[in-house]
């Protein structure tokens, strides 16, 4: 299959036609690029799993054009706190899991009785939803287990020959996937940290539990390895130049070539042959994380060393992705994402 990459403003009508015809379209959102299909069309949703190589028990996030559509997709109603939360953060990088009650294909739901819904703010995503006239199921547009794509080029690298169309809307502004909060239980659970922080959720919802503290696994995607480049990843949780330098010297004694993903300050001190600038604040780090991992990975270093210290509320989202990128593949070769 030939994969066309078209500037978003030129390709939107064709993209909507593809979605209506049950085909897949990769499109930009404010978080990462999504791989979209008509969420009411089982066959179209199946194509997403095939193109990504994604396990079928890992459900898809359903994207909607406006907050009002949520009530059509869910069973029951939102409480006042949750309504206020959505008023504040929709459209935006927040996904809510609610009891499902609409026409979403069970293929997109991975067999669950809940549905994950998000209203994206990116103008291209908004316009694609409007022109298609249906909810769009869309996971990140990468091959399973790989870092999420934040540019059309990243999508092309993973999806060339597997999907007919990629809309190019420039780099994603947030850079990490949406916050996912489960509202289907008595106490809300943070399933995936993102740009909407735990503190912001708790401001509206009261106490929110962390999925990491719960067993068994609450979100099907959590059990799979994520975000992994081909080279192994090591995360050094520090911003201390001397400490990083000492570790770097030790590592270099092996004589192997390493890639470094860190702030410019750390980069200047360690002077690696292979470097990508992570930026000097967490907003920049979130934006640059996946692109940096992909770029460094193209040179196949012995390992990618990420030097970054967790501190701010947004840092929780970055730490979550880094821990997963650096984790040994504990669940065989079964990958999500």
CB 140 within 8 A of CB 174: no
From residue 252 to residue 291, what is the string marking binding to ligand AMP with x (rule CB under 6 A)? ----------------------------------------
- Give how many residues touch ligand AMP by CB under 6 A: 18
Minimum Å gap between C-beta 35 and Mg ion is 9
Helices (H), 1-114: 8-20, 42-52, 70-73, 80-89
The residues in 108-147 that bind Mg ion, with binding defined as CB under 5 A, are 139-140
Query: Nearer Cβ to ligand AMP, position 270 or 317?
Result: 317
Cβ pair 109, 298 in contact under 8 A: no
Q: Name residues contacting ligand AMP, limited to 158-217 (CB under 6 A).
A: 177, 180, 191-192
Shortest distance, position 12 Cβ to ligand AMP, whole Å:
22
Among 219, 263, 291, 335, indicate the residue that binds ligand AMP (CB under 6 A).
219
Of the pair 305, 318, the CB lying nearest ligand AMP is at: 318
Report the residue number whose CB is nearest to ligand AMP.
221
- How far apart (Å, rounded) are the C-alpha atoms in residues 209 and 313? 15
| Distances, alpha carbon 57 to alpha carbons 41, 110, 149, 159, 220, in Å | 17, 5, 22, 21, 7
Residue with tokens 């949406």: 178
Q: Are 265 and 279 in contact (CB under 8 A)?
A: no
List Cβ neighbours of 5 (8 Å cut-off, separation of 6 or more): 152, 156, 166, 168
What does the alpha-carbon distance between residue 152 and residue 32 come to, in Å, rounded to a whole number? 10
Nearest by Cα to 309 from 254, 217, 237, 216: 237
Distance CA 167, CA 190 (A): 31
Q: Give the residue, chosen from 96, 115, 205, 304, that forms a contact with ligand AMP under the rule CB under 6 A.
A: 115
In Å, how far are 41, 89, 94, 314 from 179, measured between CA atoms?
Answer: 26, 11, 5, 10
36 binds ligand AMP (CB under 6 A): no
Residue 97: which of ligand AMP, Mg ion, none does it interact with, CB under 5 to 8 A by kind?
A: ligand AMP
Q: How far is the CB of 31 from Mg ion (least distance, A)?
A: 10
CB of 161 to Mg ion, least distance (A): 20
Look at residue 112 and give the partner it binds from Mg ion, ligand AMP, none, a contact being a CB closer than 5 to 8 Å depending on partner kind: ligand AMP
Shortest approach of Mg ion to residue 9 CB, angstroms?
26
User: Could you tell me the smallest distance in angstroms from the CB atom of residue 182 to ligand AMP?
Assistant: 6
- Selected from 23, 29, 105, 140, the binder of ligand AMP by CB under 6 A is 140
- Contact residues toward ligand AMP (CB under 6 A) are 58-59, 61, 97, 112, 114-116, 139-140, 177, 180, 191-192, 219-221, 337
């Amino acid at each position: 299959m030939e994969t066309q990459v078209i500037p978003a403003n030129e390709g939107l009508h064709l993209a909507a036609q593809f979605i209506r015809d049950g085909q897949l379209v990769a499109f930009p959102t404010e978080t990462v690029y999504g791989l979209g299909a008509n969420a009411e069309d089982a066959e179209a949703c199946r194509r997403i799993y095939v193109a990504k190589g994604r396990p079928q028990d890992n459900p898809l996030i359903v994207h909607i054009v406006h907050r009002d559509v949520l009530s059509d997709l869910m069973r029951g109603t939102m409480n006042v706190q949750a309504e206020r939360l959505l008023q504040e953060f929709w459209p935006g990088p927040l996904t809510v899991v609610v009891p499902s009650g609409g026409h979403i294909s069970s293929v997109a739901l991975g067999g669950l009785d809940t549905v994950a819904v998000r209203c994206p703010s990116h103008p291209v995503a908004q316009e694609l939803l409007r022109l298609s006239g249906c909810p769009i199921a869309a996971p990140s547009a990468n091959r399973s287990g790989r870092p999420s794509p934040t540019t059309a080029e990243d999508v092309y690298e993973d999806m060339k020959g597997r999907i007919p169309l990629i809309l190019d809307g420039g780099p994603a502004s947030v850079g990490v996937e949406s916050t996912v909060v489960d509202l289907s239980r008595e106490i809300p659970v943070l399933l995936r940290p993102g740009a909407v922080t735990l503190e912001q959720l708790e401001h509206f919802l009261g106490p929110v539990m962390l999925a990491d503290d719960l067993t068994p696994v609450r979100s099907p995607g959590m059990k799979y390895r994520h975000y992994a480049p081909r080279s192994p990843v090591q995360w050094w949780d520090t911003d201390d130049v001397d400490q990083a330098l000492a570790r770097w010297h030790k590592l270099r004694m092996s004589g192997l070539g390493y890639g470094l993903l860190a702030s410019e300050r750390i980069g200047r001190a360690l002077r690696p042959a292979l470097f990508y600038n992570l930026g000097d604040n967490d907003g920049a780090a979130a934006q640059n994380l996946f692109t940096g991992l992909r770029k460094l990975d193209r040179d196949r270093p012995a390992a990618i060393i990420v030097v970054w210290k967790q501190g701010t509320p947004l840092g929780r989202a970055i730490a979550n992705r880094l821990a997963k990128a650096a984790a040994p593949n504990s669940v065989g070769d079964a990958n999500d994402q």
